[in-house]
Chains A and B, each alone.
Chain A
Amino acid sequence: MSHLTDLPTWAAVIVCGFVLLGAAIALIGSIGLLRLPDFYTRLHAPTLATSGGVILICTASMVCFAVLQNRWVFHEVLIIVFVIMTTPVTLMLLGQAALYRDRVEERRGVPLKQKPLREETPDETKE
Protein backbone atom coordinates (compact mmCIF):
# COMPACT_ATOMS: atom_id res chain seq x y z
CA MET A 1 0.00 0.00 0.00
CA SER A 2 2.85 2.37 0.76
CA HIS A 3 3.76 2.92 -2.88
CA LEU A 4 0.25 4.26 -3.50
CA THR A 5 1.39 7.49 -1.83
CA ASP A 6 3.55 8.07 -4.91
CA LEU A 7 0.40 8.62 -6.93
CA PRO A 8 0.18 12.27 -8.01
CA THR A 9 -2.89 14.13 -6.81
CA TRP A 10 -4.55 14.51 -10.21
CA ALA A 11 -4.32 10.76 -10.81
CA ALA A 12 -5.51 9.99 -7.29
CA VAL A 13 -8.60 12.13 -7.87
CA ILE A 14 -9.41 10.33 -11.13
CA VAL A 15 -8.81 6.88 -9.64
CA CYS A 16 -10.89 7.73 -6.55
CA GLY A 17 -13.71 9.00 -8.70
CA PHE A 18 -13.82 5.86 -10.85
CA VAL A 19 -13.50 3.44 -7.91
CA LEU A 20 -16.17 5.19 -5.85
CA LEU A 21 -18.55 5.46 -8.78
CA GLY A 22 -17.99 1.81 -9.73
CA ALA A 23 -18.44 0.64 -6.15
CA ALA A 24 -21.59 2.75 -5.83
CA ILE A 25 -23.06 1.18 -8.96
CA ALA A 26 -22.22 -2.32 -7.70
CA LEU A 27 -23.82 -1.43 -4.36
CA ILE A 28 -26.97 -0.15 -6.06
CA GLY A 29 -27.08 -3.42 -8.00
CA SER A 30 -26.91 -5.39 -4.77
CA ILE A 31 -29.61 -3.24 -3.16
CA GLY A 32 -31.75 -3.90 -6.21
CA LEU A 33 -31.23 -7.63 -5.78
CA LEU A 34 -32.55 -7.24 -2.27
CA ARG A 35 -35.47 -4.91 -2.90
CA LEU A 36 -36.93 -5.62 -6.32
CA PRO A 37 -40.27 -7.45 -6.12
CA ASP A 38 -40.01 -10.54 -8.35
CA PHE A 39 -37.46 -12.85 -9.89
CA TYR A 40 -37.41 -11.38 -13.39
CA THR A 41 -36.84 -7.86 -12.17
CA ARG A 42 -34.16 -9.10 -9.77
CA LEU A 43 -32.44 -10.59 -12.79
CA HIS A 44 -31.60 -7.06 -13.93
CA ALA A 45 -29.95 -5.81 -10.76
CA PRO A 46 -26.64 -7.75 -10.83
CA THR A 47 -25.99 -6.70 -14.43
CA LEU A 48 -25.32 -3.23 -13.05
CA ALA A 49 -22.26 -4.63 -11.29
CA THR A 50 -21.15 -6.71 -14.25
CA SER A 51 -21.32 -3.83 -16.70
CA GLY A 52 -20.93 -0.43 -15.07
CA GLY A 53 -19.18 -1.60 -11.91
CA VAL A 54 -16.60 -3.78 -13.62
CA ILE A 55 -15.87 -1.25 -16.36
CA LEU A 56 -15.36 1.64 -13.94
CA ILE A 57 -13.28 -0.25 -11.37
CA CYS A 58 -11.07 -1.82 -14.06
CA THR A 59 -10.58 1.58 -15.67
CA ALA A 60 -9.53 2.96 -12.28
CA SER A 61 -7.05 0.10 -11.89
CA MET A 62 -5.63 0.74 -15.35
CA VAL A 63 -5.17 4.45 -14.68
CA CYS A 64 -3.66 3.83 -11.24
CA PHE A 65 -1.01 1.33 -12.31
CA ALA A 66 -0.30 3.07 -15.61
CA VAL A 67 0.57 6.24 -13.71
CA LEU A 68 2.49 4.46 -10.93
CA GLN A 69 4.63 2.35 -13.25
CA ASN A 70 4.82 5.00 -15.95
CA ARG A 71 3.74 2.73 -18.80
CA TRP A 72 0.60 1.61 -20.56
CA VAL A 73 -1.38 -1.04 -18.69
CA PHE A 74 -4.10 -2.77 -20.65
CA HIS A 75 -4.61 -6.25 -19.28
CA GLU A 76 -7.61 -5.25 -17.15
CA VAL A 77 -9.45 -4.97 -20.47
CA LEU A 78 -9.42 -8.77 -20.47
CA ILE A 79 -11.38 -8.82 -17.20
CA ILE A 80 -14.02 -6.53 -18.71
CA VAL A 81 -14.24 -8.62 -21.89
CA PHE A 82 -14.49 -11.96 -20.09
CA VAL A 83 -17.04 -10.75 -17.55
CA ILE A 84 -19.24 -9.27 -20.30
CA MET A 85 -18.84 -12.42 -22.42
CA THR A 86 -19.71 -14.87 -19.66
CA THR A 87 -22.57 -13.06 -17.89
CA PRO A 88 -25.21 -13.88 -20.55
CA VAL A 89 -24.62 -17.60 -20.00
CA THR A 90 -25.58 -17.47 -16.33
CA LEU A 91 -28.32 -14.95 -16.92
CA MET A 92 -29.99 -16.99 -19.65
CA LEU A 93 -29.70 -20.15 -17.57
CA LEU A 94 -31.42 -18.46 -14.61
CA GLY A 95 -34.02 -16.82 -16.83
CA GLN A 96 -34.88 -20.04 -18.64
CA ALA A 97 -35.06 -21.98 -15.37
CA ALA A 98 -37.45 -19.38 -13.95
CA LEU A 99 -39.57 -19.40 -17.11
CA TYR A 100 -39.77 -23.19 -17.02
CA ARG A 101 -40.75 -23.22 -13.35
CA ASP A 102 -43.43 -20.57 -13.81
CA ARG A 103 -44.88 -22.31 -16.85
CA VAL A 104 -45.07 -25.62 -15.03
CA GLU A 105 -46.72 -23.95 -12.05
CA GLU A 106 -48.97 -22.00 -14.44
CA ARG A 107 -48.42 -18.64 -12.85
CA ARG A 108 -50.15 -15.66 -14.28
CA GLY A 109 -48.31 -12.98 -16.18
CA VAL A 110 -45.77 -15.35 -17.65
CA PRO A 111 -45.73 -15.65 -21.43
CA LEU A 112 -46.65 -19.11 -22.63
CA LYS A 113 -44.37 -21.23 -24.71
CA GLN A 114 -45.07 -20.59 -28.35
CA LYS A 115 -45.97 -23.59 -30.41
CA PRO A 116 -43.21 -24.38 -32.89
CA LEU A 117 -44.12 -23.55 -36.47
CA ARG A 118 -42.54 -26.67 -37.85
CA GLU A 119 -40.71 -29.66 -36.51
CA GLU A 120 -37.57 -28.59 -34.72
CA THR A 121 -34.70 -29.19 -37.06
CA PRO A 122 -31.18 -29.57 -35.72
CA ASP A 123 -29.37 -26.43 -36.73
CA GLU A 124 -27.54 -26.82 -39.98
CA THR A 125 -23.93 -25.90 -39.59
CA LYS A 126 -23.11 -23.52 -42.34
CA GLU A 127 -20.06 -24.00 -44.43
Chain B
Amino acid sequence: MRTWFPYPLLSLGLLIIWMLLNQSVAPGTIVMGTILGVALAWVTLKLTPARSHPRRILRTLAFGASVFLDVIRSNIAVARVILRVGRRAPNSGFLTVDIDIEDENALALLACIMTATPGTAWLEYDRGRKSLLFHVLDMENEEVWIRTVKRYEAGLKEMFG
Protein backbone atom coordinates (compact mmCIF):
# COMPACT_ATOMS: atom_id res chain seq x y z
CA MET B 1 0.00 0.00 0.00
CA ARG B 2 2.74 2.42 1.04
CA THR B 3 4.82 1.62 -2.03
CA TRP B 4 1.95 2.41 -4.36
CA PHE B 5 0.55 5.37 -2.45
CA PRO B 6 3.43 7.02 -0.56
CA TYR B 7 1.32 10.06 0.33
CA PRO B 8 -2.37 9.13 0.24
CA LEU B 9 -3.55 12.49 1.59
CA LEU B 10 -1.47 14.40 -0.95
CA SER B 11 -2.79 12.24 -3.78
CA LEU B 12 -6.36 12.80 -2.61
CA GLY B 13 -5.74 16.55 -2.32
CA LEU B 14 -4.30 16.70 -5.84
CA LEU B 15 -7.27 14.77 -7.18
CA ILE B 16 -9.64 17.25 -5.54
CA ILE B 17 -7.66 20.20 -6.93
CA TRP B 18 -7.73 18.65 -10.39
CA MET B 19 -11.49 18.14 -10.21
CA LEU B 20 -11.99 21.71 -9.00
CA LEU B 21 -9.82 23.14 -11.77
CA ASN B 22 -11.67 21.16 -14.41
CA GLN B 23 -15.02 21.80 -12.70
CA SER B 24 -16.26 18.33 -13.48
CA VAL B 25 -16.75 14.94 -11.88
CA ALA B 26 -16.74 13.09 -15.21
CA PRO B 27 -15.01 9.66 -15.12
CA GLY B 28 -12.26 10.91 -17.46
CA THR B 29 -11.38 13.75 -15.12
CA ILE B 30 -11.30 11.43 -12.12
CA VAL B 31 -9.02 8.94 -13.91
CA MET B 32 -6.66 11.69 -15.05
CA GLY B 33 -6.68 13.27 -11.58
CA THR B 34 -5.92 9.94 -9.92
CA ILE B 35 -3.01 9.28 -12.29
CA LEU B 36 -1.64 12.77 -11.65
CA GLY B 37 -2.13 12.49 -7.91
CA VAL B 38 -0.32 9.16 -7.63
CA ALA B 39 2.48 10.15 -10.03
CA LEU B 40 3.10 13.46 -8.27
CA ALA B 41 3.14 11.68 -4.90
CA TRP B 42 6.02 9.56 -6.23
CA VAL B 43 7.81 12.72 -7.32
CA THR B 44 7.25 14.18 -3.84
CA LEU B 45 8.84 11.08 -2.34
CA LYS B 46 12.12 12.19 -3.94
CA LEU B 47 11.89 15.49 -2.07
CA THR B 48 11.62 13.64 1.26
CA PRO B 49 9.38 16.16 3.02
CA ALA B 50 8.80 15.94 6.77
CA ARG B 51 6.02 13.47 7.44
CA SER B 52 3.22 14.30 9.81
CA HIS B 53 -0.03 12.64 10.62
CA PRO B 54 -2.94 14.98 11.12
CA ARG B 55 -5.68 13.41 13.20
CA ARG B 56 -8.88 14.22 15.04
CA ILE B 57 -10.79 15.65 12.12
CA LEU B 58 -13.63 17.07 14.24
CA ARG B 59 -11.25 19.01 16.47
CA THR B 60 -9.57 20.28 13.33
CA LEU B 61 -12.85 21.63 12.03
CA ALA B 62 -13.56 23.41 15.31
CA PHE B 63 -10.05 24.86 15.28
CA GLY B 64 -10.49 26.02 11.67
CA ALA B 65 -13.74 27.75 12.58
CA SER B 66 -12.12 29.60 15.47
CA VAL B 67 -9.23 30.68 13.20
CA PHE B 68 -11.73 31.91 10.62
CA LEU B 69 -13.48 34.03 13.27
CA ASP B 70 -10.08 35.40 14.30
CA VAL B 71 -9.34 36.35 10.69
CA ILE B 72 -12.58 38.34 10.48
CA ARG B 73 -12.03 39.98 13.86
CA SER B 74 -8.44 40.97 13.14
CA ASN B 75 -9.35 42.27 9.69
CA ILE B 76 -11.78 44.68 11.32
CA ALA B 77 -9.29 45.58 14.05
CA VAL B 78 -6.44 46.32 11.62
CA ALA B 79 -8.74 48.30 9.31
CA ARG B 80 -9.69 50.49 12.28
CA VAL B 81 -6.06 51.01 13.26
CA ILE B 82 -5.19 52.08 9.71
CA LEU B 83 -8.14 54.44 9.42
CA ARG B 84 -7.26 56.30 12.61
CA VAL B 85 -3.49 56.28 12.05
CA GLY B 86 -3.44 60.02 11.30
CA ARG B 87 -4.78 60.80 14.75
CA ARG B 88 -2.99 58.21 16.81
CA ALA B 89 0.16 56.29 15.94
CA PRO B 90 -0.32 52.55 16.34
CA ASN B 91 1.32 51.11 19.41
CA SER B 92 3.22 48.39 17.61
CA GLY B 93 6.00 46.21 18.90
CA PHE B 94 7.87 42.95 18.89
CA LEU B 95 6.94 39.96 21.00
CA THR B 96 8.67 36.69 21.62
CA VAL B 97 6.85 33.55 22.56
CA ASP B 98 8.10 30.05 23.19
CA ILE B 99 6.57 27.51 20.88
CA ASP B 100 6.84 23.86 21.65
CA ILE B 101 6.05 22.34 18.26
CA GLU B 102 8.42 19.87 16.67
CA ASP B 103 6.48 19.09 13.54
CA GLU B 104 7.62 21.19 10.59
CA ASN B 105 4.28 21.04 8.83
CA ALA B 106 2.55 22.27 11.97
CA LEU B 107 4.99 25.18 12.12
CA ALA B 108 4.28 25.99 8.49
CA LEU B 109 0.56 25.94 9.21
CA LEU B 110 1.09 28.21 12.20
CA ALA B 111 2.94 30.65 9.93
CA CYS B 112 0.02 30.57 7.48
CA ILE B 113 -2.48 31.23 10.26
CA MET B 114 -0.48 34.08 11.76
CA THR B 115 -0.04 35.70 8.38
CA ALA B 116 -3.66 35.25 7.38
CA THR B 117 -4.76 37.05 10.52
CA PRO B 118 -3.69 40.65 9.89
CA GLY B 119 -2.07 42.34 12.86
CA THR B 120 0.47 39.65 13.53
CA ALA B 121 3.53 39.08 11.33
CA TRP B 122 5.79 36.11 11.78
CA LEU B 123 9.41 37.32 11.73
CA GLU B 124 11.87 34.79 13.05
CA TYR B 125 11.75 31.32 14.51
CA ASP B 126 14.72 30.08 16.45
CA ARG B 127 14.97 26.32 16.15
CA GLY B 128 17.44 25.93 19.01
CA ARG B 129 15.50 27.95 21.55
CA LYS B 130 12.14 27.11 20.04
CA SER B 131 11.12 30.72 20.34
CA LEU B 132 9.22 32.76 17.81
CA LEU B 133 9.74 36.46 17.26
CA PHE B 134 6.72 38.19 15.80
CA HIS B 135 5.53 41.71 15.26
CA VAL B 136 2.18 43.02 16.42
CA LEU B 137 0.55 46.05 14.87
CA ASP B 138 -1.63 47.15 17.74
CA MET B 139 -0.30 46.02 21.08
CA GLU B 140 -2.97 47.10 23.50
CA ASN B 141 -2.40 44.08 25.64
CA GLU B 142 0.65 41.86 25.27
CA GLU B 143 -0.97 39.08 27.26
CA VAL B 144 -3.84 38.79 24.80
CA TRP B 145 -1.50 38.27 21.84
CA ILE B 146 0.65 35.73 23.62
CA ARG B 147 -2.45 33.88 24.73
CA THR B 148 -3.76 33.88 21.14
CA VAL B 149 -0.55 32.33 19.81
CA LYS B 150 -0.58 29.80 22.65
CA ARG B 151 -4.13 28.90 21.69
CA TYR B 152 -3.05 28.25 18.09
CA GLU B 153 -0.15 26.22 19.38
CA ALA B 154 -2.44 24.07 21.51
CA GLY B 155 -4.81 23.56 18.58
CA LEU B 156 -2.01 22.53 16.24
CA LYS B 157 -0.53 20.22 18.83
CA GLU B 158 -3.87 18.49 19.11
CA MET B 159 -4.12 18.18 15.34
CA PHE B 160 -0.66 16.79 14.77
CA GLY B 161 -0.57 14.88 18.04
Contacts and interface: CB of A to CB of B under 8 A. Distances in A.
Interface of A: 25, 28-29, 31-32, 35-38, 40-41, 43-45, 47-48, 50-52, 55, 73-75, 77-78, 84-85, 87-88, 91-92, 95-96, 99, 110-111, 114, 116-118, 120, 123, 125-127
Contact of B85 (A35, A117, A125): A35
Given A51-B75, A126-B50, A120 B127 contact: yes
Contacts of B20: 74-75, 77-78
Interface of B: 17, 20-21, 23, 48, 50-51, 71-72, 75, 78-79, 81-83, 85-86, 89-90, 92, 94, 96, 104, 108, 111-112, 114-124, 126-129, 131, 133, 135, 137
A48 B128 contact: no
A32 B78 contact: yes
Given A48-B75, A111-B133, A114-B129, A92 B122 contact: yes
A43 B121 contact: yes
Given A37-B89, A88-B122, A28 B128 contact: no
